[in-house]
Chain A
Amino acid sequence: MMRKSGKIGLALSTPYLLFALAFVVFPLLFSVYLIFHRWDGMSAPVWIGLKNLRRLVSDSLFYQSLLNTLQFLVIHIPLQIFFALIFAVGLNSIKIFRGFFRAVYFMPVVVSGVVVTIVWLQLYSFDYGIINNLLTQFGLPRVPWLVSTDLAMPSIAIMATWKNVGLYTVMFLAGLQGVPEEYYEAATIDGATSFQKFVKITVPLLAPTMTLVVILSTINGFSLFVEPFVMTGGGPLNATLSSVLYIYNQAFSFGHLGYASALGFVFALIILAAVLIQRKFLETE
């Protein structure tokens, strides 16, 4: 019987194993190989030892892209958690049209990132954008949302929050189902206010969901690409050049696949380190 189930198991897992070999294991090993080679994707790779890593160490643009990504995360994650939590608590307390409102908040998540980005371009445009048009109608100055080095990344972070908040709202909603109603009843009898119940009951009991949301939004945040790619091209003055956009440019615009592999590998290690630190910190809390 073991043999039979073993064969069936092998047969059933073969498609995944082949998929994993072709699209996970092989690319991973090949990217390690490329770290030590110069390769334009067309001619044969040329061994260059540690040259790619030496270039990376002195590549100021890579450091800038890391700082830009960090800036994005610092704005995006707290914003996302704050609004997702508020929306989740709000949606949880709604008694009518509950499904409708949940769908509305989730809608931006399922819309293509490129489409959302193009729509937000119309909102953010300095000279003809809808937001600036409204501001000027009230006699206020126009805001250089995407053409100021100080505002471009925060603007993108706001847009990304709008796009993704529905996903994390759903996660918090799921977490809220696990909070026993009796706690709230007991707190009400003890005379706790709504705010106190939120801070003392809801937030602590949502800690596991919070950990998940922070880790997922960190990983998603590190992969920031579509928004700067479509909206700013990494500008102004590289202020929105995210690490993934920089790696993409090196690989597919300039044909430096070896160097891009080195950048990608180091970047993956940075993400791993960040997630491990977050987990340790949040789980201890």
Chain B
Amino acid sequence: MLVKGDCIPNYRKNHGPLLSRLILVILAVAALSGCGSGSGGRSDKSGRINLVYWAAPNPQEIQLATQLVAKWNATHPDIHVEMQPLPVNRSTEEVLMAAIAAKTTPDVCSNIWPGSVPEYARAGAIVKLNSFPDFDSLASSRVGMSYMEQFESADSNYYQIPWKANPLMMIYNKKVFRQAGITKPPLTYSEFLADAAKLTYSSKGNGVIDHWMGYRDIRPVWWQRFFDFFALYKAASHGQSFTKNGKVVADTQAVREVLTFFGQCFEHDYFPRTYFSYDPFLEGVVATEFVGPWTISYIRSNYGGKLDFGVAPIPVPDNHTGPVDTYGDHKCISIFSTTRYPLQSWEFVKYLLSESSDLELLKVASQLPVRKDLLSISEFASFFQKNPDMKTFAEEAPYAHEVDQTPDQKEIFDAISQEFEKCSVYNKIGPEKATKELVKNVKVLLDWDE
């Protein structure tokens, strides 16, 4: 029987520990959720090493990564790899930045944009791949050291190894070209603009243009400039870097030419000043588009037989000679410093870079492995024989360039975007002034970084 006052000692007895337990549980949950040291790299009770591998989140690459990882796990019982698609966000870089800050990076990631590597390296977030004894032999046999130079960091180390390239080329609608009486794709700016005058029109005859020569996303989003300004700059400048060793080394003549070319495209309405929520090329609304080989597999799976298209190099200035350089849209593989098993991670990286894995990359994802023997390996040759469009991209691969290995690439491309918008899209300033402003603004960014 309870008497008055009993409840207090009872409460103390029963609820005191309850309160402590409650606080303890909350703290433990908070600690467990916040104190992870990387999402990968653990060994289980049986001694098996578990690695985490992040692959690009598009369906083709998830399929590819799933297949490759299944094969690896079947032949490596001691090193188990778990594939996770990169968490979806506006860009991989934002995901990786957050993961590095939270120390939740995987062991291996194959969707590294080379432009972000200087910052990851500065933060000590990725492993020096050239610290592995067989790195040089692998890099030189697979890619060649002269090609590797564009992936070398300012401290003369390699924190990334190129895995695949998506050289940017021009895809064109053959049917639309034929209907306009054009027999071959344009190669120079003049040819492009002349064809544009024929292929930009109003189908309803009411003067409202509803078919265009091309289309570019005009929003000032920094990475959009890879697929217009930067690719055409690389072509016009024969692959000249934009910045090097903290200095602006851009070919200003090429910058002016590219800005002028796009300025004419927008001024004459050959490119609409709009934003499409669908792909206007695939819908037959625009006649050309600058794309990488990923588009080929997409067209085949979604528009197979319905779209008669061809592939040609991106346009160049009229006086251009020699091969047409372009933007490579490379994706590299890196190992993150949070890994507990760098050697095992490196073994897995070597597997991803093997000839058999590269063939899967070609077949499943329609993307080109970065290899100097891409066109000479017999298994690859049979693939290219069946896929002549992909061969065109493969032939362009040796001329595919990457962004410079200096920090602040995103802000540099934002500066490019600002001038591109002012000069080419809205014609508010001339190419001369835009080029000078661009060089000045990039210098400010490089100085700020010192």
Is B272 a contact partner of A253 (Cβ separation < 8 A)?
no
Quick check: is B97 within 8 A (CB to CB) of the other chain? yes
Q: How far is the CB of B173 from chain A (nearest CB, A)?
A: 18
In addition to A125-B276, A147-B273, A237-B428, 6 A-B residue pairs with Cβ atoms within 8 Å of each other are: A7-B15, A42-B97, A42-B101, A136-B208, A235-B220, A253-B222
Pick the interface stretch among A14-22, A95-103, A164-172. Answer: A14-22
Nearest-CB distance from B168 to chain A (Å)? 21
B56 at the interface (CB under 8 A from A): no
Contact (A233, B30) CB under 8 Å given A4-B11, A128-B210, A253-B410: no
| Alpha-carbon separation in the docked complex, A7 to B12 (Å) | 10
| A108 contacts partner chain B, Cβ-Cβ < 8 Å | no
Q: In this complex, what residue of A is CB-closest to B29?
A: A18
B445 to chain A, nearest CB (A): 9
| Nearest chain B residue, comparing its CB with the CB of A61 | B418
Q: Would you call B274 and A42 a contact (CB within 8 A)?
A: no
Give 1 or 0 for each of A1-30: 1 = CB within 8 Å of chain B CB.
100100110110011001000100000000
A237 with B101: CB separation less than 8 A: no
Cβ distance B336 to chain A, nearest Cβ, rounded Å:
11
Whether B26 lies near A142 (C-beta < 8 A) is no
Task: Evaluate contact between B97 and A255: CB separation under 8 angstroms.
Answer: yes
Contacts of B421 in A (CB 8 A): 235-237
Is B425 engaged at the interface, CB distance under 8 Å to the other chain? yes
Q: Are A122 and B410 in contact (CB under 8 A)?
A: no
Verify B219–A252 contact, CB threshold 8 A: no
Q: Are B209 and A127 in contact (CB under 8 A)?
A: yes
Q: How far apart sit A235 and B428, CA to CA, in the bound complex (Å)?
A: 13
CA distance A54 to B92 in the complex (A): 32
In the bound assembly, the distance between CA atoms of A126 and B210 in angstroms comes to 11
Are B123 and A43 in contact (CB-based, < 8 A)?
yes
Instruction: Tell me whether A121 is interfacial, beta carbon within 8 Å.
Output: yes
Q: Which chain B residues border A253 with CB–CB below 8 Å?
A: 94, 222, 410, 414
* B191 contacts chain A at the CB level, 8 A cutoff: no
Residues of B within 8 A of A142 (CB): 208
Q: Which 9 A-B pairs have the closest CB atoms?
A: A233-B219, A42-B123, A43-B123, A127-B274, A127-B272, A42-B100, A41-B101, A235-B220, A254-B411
Q: Taking the complex as formed, is A69 at the interface, i.e. its CB lies under 8 A from any CB of chain B?
A: no
Contact with A along B88-104 (1 / 0, CB 8 A): 00000010011011000
Q: Residue of B at shortest CB range from A229?
A: B90
Query: Which residues of B169-223 are within 8 A (CB) of A?
Result: 206, 208-210, 218-222
Given contacts A126-B272, A127-B274, contact A43 B122 (CB under 8 A): yes
Which residues does chain A contribute within 8 Å of B98, judged by CB atoms? 41
In angstroms, Cα B231 to Cα A279, docked, is: 54
Q: How many A-B residue pairs have CB under 8 A?
A: 99
Partner of B26, one of A1, A14, A252: A14
Q: CB of B408 within 8 A of chain A? A: yes
- Among B94, B208, B209, B275, the residue within 8 A (CB) of A252 is B94
- Knowing A42-B100, A127-B210, A128-B210, the reply to whether A237 touches B422 (Cβ < 8 A) is yes
- Cα distance, A128 to B120, chains bound together (Å): 42
Interface size on B, residues (CB 8 A): 46
Q: Determine which of A11, A234, A235, A255 lies in contact with B19 in the assembled complex, contact meaning CB atoms within 8 Å.
A: A11
Residue of B nearest to A142 (CB): B208
A108 to B98, CA, bound (A): 32
Q: In the complex, which residue of chain B has the Cβ closest to the Cβ of A137?
A: B206
**Pairs A–B under 8 Å by Cβ, sample size 24:** A4-B8, A11-B18, A18-B30, A40-B122, A41-B98, A41-B101, A42-B101, A42-B119, A43-B122, A125-B275, A127-B209, A127-B210, A128-B210, A128-B274, A136-B208, A142-B208, A147-B274, A233-B221, A234-B219, A234-B220, A235-B421, A238-B220, A253-B410, A255-B410
- Please give me the residue from chain A that is nearest to B285 by CB atom: A128
A232 within 8 A of B: yes
B23 at the interface (CB under 8 A from A): yes
Pick from B16, B23, B275: contact of A14, CB under 8 Å: B23
* Bound-complex Cα distance A93 to B163 (A): 67
Residues of A within 8 A of B23 (CB): 14
**Pair B414/A254 contact, Cβ less than 8 Å:** yes
What CA separation (Å) do A101 and B19 show in the bound complex? 49
Q: Is there contact, CB below 8 Å, between B274 and A126?
A: yes
Contacts of B154 on A, CB cut-off 8 Å?
Answer: none
Task: Assess the A42–B125 pair: CB atoms within 8 A.
Answer: yes
Q: Mark B264-276, 1 if CB is under 8 A from A, else 0.
A: 0000000011111
Chain B residue, CB-CB nearest to A146: B275
- Give the distance in Å from the alpha carbon of A15 to the alpha carbon of B15 in the complex: 17
Known A-B contacts A237-B428, A255-B119; A41 and B100 likewise in contact (beta carbons under 8 Å): yes
Shortest Cβ distance from B425 into A: residue: A236
In the complex the two chains form, what is the Cα distance from A236 to B122 in whole Å? 34
Across-interface contacts of A1 in B (CB, < 8 A): 8
Near B by CB (< 8 A), chain A positions 216-254 give 231-238, 249, 252-254
Residues of B within 8 A of A126 (CB): 272-274
B426 contacts chain A at the CB level, 8 A cutoff: yes
Interface flags, B359-384, vs A, CB<8A=1, else 0: 00000000000000000000000000
B249 on the A face (CB < 8 A): no
Residues from 123 to 139 in B contacting A, C-beta threshold 8 Å: 123-125
Within 8 A of B (CB), among A113-171: 118, 121-122, 125-128, 136, 142, 144, 146-147, 149
Cα A11 to Cα B18 in complex, Å, equals 9
Q: Are A254 and B410 in contact (CB under 8 A)?
A: yes
- The answer on a CB contact under 8 Å between B120 and A42 is yes
Contact partners of A7 in chain B: CB under 8 A: 15-16, 19
Which residue of chain B is the closest to A256 with respect to CB atoms? B411
The interface residues of chain B lying within 8 Å CB-to-CB of A118 are: 277
Question: Within 8 Å CB of B221, what residues of A?
Answer: 233
- B343 close to chain A: CB less than 8 A: no
Q: What string of 1s and 0s marks CB contacts (under 8 Å) between A195-210 and chain B?
A: 0000000000000000
Q: Does chain A have a CB within 8 A of B22?
A: yes
For the complex formed, measure the closest distance between the CB of A51 and the CB atoms of chain B, giving whole angstroms: 9
Q: Which residue of B lies closest to A253 (CB)?
A: B410
30-55 of chain B: CB within 8 A of chain A: 30
Q: Which residues of A contact B428 (CB under 8 A)?
A: 237
Chain A positions within 8 Å of B11 at CB level: 4
Chain A's closest residue to B22 (CB) is A11
With contact pairs A127-B209, A128-B210 given, residues A43 and B274 touching in the complex (Cβ less than 8 Å): no
CB distance from A126 to the nearest CB of B (A): 5
Residue of chain A at shortest CB distance from B94? A252
Contacts of A41 in B (CB 8 A): 97-98, 100-101
- Given contacts A42-B101, A125-B275, A126-B274, whether A235 and B410 have CB atoms under 8 Å apart is no
A236/B426 in contact, CB under 8 A: yes
A42 nearest CB neighbor, chain B only = B123
